Amino acid sequence: MQQPVGVILAGGLSSRMGGGDKGLLDLNGQSILRHVIDRLEPQVASVAINANGDAGRFSDTNLPVLPDTISDYPGPLAGVLAGLDWAASQGAAHIVTAAADTPFFPCDLVPQLVLAAQDRDPAIALAASRDPDTGKLWRQPTFGLWPVALRDDLRAALIGGLRKVVLWTDSYNAATAVFPNFGLDPFFNVNTPVELEQARAFAKGAG
């Protein structure tokens, strides 16, 4: 498989953080978004950010900023579609998405997603982690491998009112790449001020 391009999904409304961009919050001297970029960039051919509003707030990243092409903030799938359209213009066959508020996701995210999807047609996969106490599998709908060839299908689904990621991926029998949990869910994301403090404590300890 040709190396995918990466798209960071930063289009959420951040209501539990009082608005603004969660990815721009400070995490021990760097923005959360910078941590995400630093993890994703080595794994992909190039990176873009999906975000709405003033693209200038991401100018220090020197990355393309892709607004949703479907109005009214229809959720992560709109960001996936924006990424697929951009990837098509770059000649890429797949994208891998990562959330802008999830700074500790696996450094082998992309190869594991590609491996999970290698026998699927279309090659589509979601990441997942397992609860160490209950064994329950938690799929991560903002972390996935997506074929550019499905962009028109996704566009039609969004125009038709589809919003839930897993409903769309399940319709294509998407693969699942399961990542281990070593004390902190690798897909821990920052939604609240309390979680921001937890992330800062974890990052400080890991450093």
Percentage of the chain with pLDDT > 90?
77
205 is in an annotated binding site: no
Sign of CA dihedral 127, 129, 130, 136: negative
pLDDT exceeds cutoff 60 at 14: no
What pTM was estimated for this model as a whole? 0.93
Poorest-confidence range of 11-15, 25-29, 85-89, 170-174?
A: 11-15
9 is in an annotated binding site: yes
The alpha carbon of 55 is separated from its chain's Cα centroid by a whole number of angstroms, namely 18
183 is in an annotated binding site: no
The alpha carbon of 160 is separated from its chain's Cα centroid by a whole number of angstroms, namely 23
* Positions of E strands within 28-93: 30-31, 47-50, 65-66
Listed by start position, the domains of the chain span: 5-202
Q: What is the DSSP string of 142-165?
A: EEEEEEGGGHHHHHHHHHTT---H
87-112 pLDDT, tens digit each: 999 999 999 999 999 999 999 999 99
* Positions of E strands within the chain: 5-9, 26-27, 30-31, 47-50, 65-66, 94-99, 125-130, 137-147, 175-179
pLDDT exceeds cutoff 90 at 68: yes
10 is in an annotated binding site: yes
pLDDT of residue 89: 97
pLDDT exceeds cutoff 90 at 63: yes
Residue 12: which pLDDT band, with cuts at 50, 70 and 90? low
Residue positions counted in the chain: 207
113-146 pLDDT, tens digit each: 999 999 999 999 999 998 878 889 999 999 999 9
Task: For residues 109 and 40, give the distance between their C-alpha atoms in angstroms, rounded to a whole number.
Answer: 8
**What is the CB-side half-sphere exposure of residue 175 using CA atoms within 13 A?**
19
CATH superfamily of 5-202: Spore Coat Polysaccharide Biosynthesis Protein SpsA; Chain A (3.90.550.10)
pLDDT of residue 16: 44
pLDDT of residue 71: 83
Indicate the average pLDDT of the chain. Answer: 92
pLDDT exceeds cutoff 70 at 206: no
Question: Which residue, chain included where needed, has tokens 């697929």?
Answer: 84
pLDDT of residue 96: 99
50 is in an annotated binding site: yes
